């Protein structure tokens, strides 16, 4: 019984360290997000996509995310969290996810200014980026 309690405590501490120690770090190394990325003068918007590989609307967002990343390089940071993985699962609670895909838009200070649920067409997404001065 004591051994099981110690195991639960260790698991809890590891999860706590992961949530608070590595806050806003993506499980996708290509699009990782750190506080430094959010607060740099160049980055005007951080576009966080919370979804899962294999989810049809989530998969349809992948090419749009790639295009945004390329077309607005230096102004927009694109981050993807696969919330169905162990690494991405904590972001469900952190961002209050009710459905996937969910797009969360953070301003240069890291504050959420817009949120969208479901597939988000590129032309509508660009309007949200322009709200923060992205050209």
| pTM over 0.75, yes/no | no
The model's pLDDT over 65-78, given as tens digits with 9 standing for 90+, comes to 999 999 999 999 99
98 or 23, greater pLDDT: 98
Assigned CATH for 24-130: 3.40.30.10
Is residue 93 exposed (0-12), middle (13-18) or buried (19+ Cβ within 10 Å)? Answer: exposed
For residue 82, which of 74, 73, 92 has the smallest C-alpha distance?
A: 92
**In the chain, where the domains are located:** 24-130
């Amino acid at each position: 019984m004591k051994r099981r309690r110690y195991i639960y405590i260790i698991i809890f501490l590891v999860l706590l360290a992961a949530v608070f120690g590595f806050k806003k770090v993506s499980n996708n190394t290509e699009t990782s997000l750190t506080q430094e990325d959010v607060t740099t003068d160049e980055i005007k918007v951080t576009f966080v996509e919370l979804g899962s590989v294999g989810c049809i609307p989530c998969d349809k967002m992948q090419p749009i995310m790639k295009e945004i990343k390329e077309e607005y390089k230096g102004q927009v940071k694109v981050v993807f969290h696969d919330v169905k993985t162990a690494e991405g699962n904590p972001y469900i609670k952190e961002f209050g996810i009710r459905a996937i895909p969910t797009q969360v838009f953070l301003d240069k200070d890291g504050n959420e200014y817009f949120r969208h649920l479901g597939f988000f067409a590129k032309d509508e997404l660009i309007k949200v980026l322009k709200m923060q001065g992205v050209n």
